[in-house]
Amino acid sequence: MSVLVVTGTCTGVGKTVVCAALAAVAAARGVSVAVVKPGQTGVTGGEPGDLDEVRRLAGIDDLHELARFPDPLSPAAAARRAGAPPVRLADAADRVRALSAPENAGTGPRLVLVEGAGGLLVRYDDEGATIADLARGLDAAVVVVTRPGLGTLNHTALTLEAMAHRGVQLAGVVIGAWPDDPDLAMRSNIRDLETIAARPLSGALPAGAGALDPAEFLVAAHRGLAPSFGGAFDAAAFRDGYGLDKE
């Protein structure tokens, strides 16, 4: 049994697509997968949220949204606006532990994915609890999803520094949406992202992957995630294919 927390360097970087990719690849290998969203913001009760996207792309039904708020704000701010209690990450941790317990794994391995809201240090309550606190409390490694373009080096470095300061383990850095025609900054950033992370990239999902049908998405997910996540992504080949050394 294992737990992975998925966070991003900012909002809109592709966390949900990467979470769905992790789920799809694991499920295709026969792993039992559950996905937890501690706090969903920006959608009303009848609207589809991030977990609905995971269900559509990965075919996963063991989904757990623990709180929902209509305003597109941080979970703490959205809860205040709604006049609702904030997300209690201690309760979220209890739910994740229960889902990852051996008795819930059936006869095979079990993976619980936890998708955060926004970036690593987005607040879930007025006391300042963050997804980093949840990861540390669960002793779970974190997948950091980042953009490929200009500005990503600073955002990624700050995220990884904050994780290291809090004793949170890095599972890998994944580019959430890699375009067909990357610009100069994107190609240059490959090597620098690996330098910042002190390891090869753990994946790069193609831009537009969220619009694929489930079968196509599984192929893209397998190609776009590293072997450590069950995929076939070759970081060295990706770097050599898109890097600047040949120019």
Active site residues: 37
Residues 6 or more apart in contact with residue 213 via CB below 8 angstroms = none
- Give which of 54, 43, 65 is closest to 18, Cα–Cα: 54
Distance in angstroms (rounded) separating the CA atoms of residues 92 and 22: 20
| Long-range Cβ contacts of 77-83 (<8 Å, 24+ apart) | 77/123, 78/39, 78/41, 78/42, 79/39, 79/125, 80/126
Q: Which residues partner with 174 through β-bridges? A: 145, 203
Give residue 53's identity as a one-letter amino acid code. Answer: E
Structure tokens at 54: 């995971």
Rg (CA), the chain: 17
Sheet containing 170-178, strands listed edge to edge, beginning at the edge strand earlier in sequence:
63-65, 32-37, 110-119, 2-8, 141-146, 170-178, 203-206
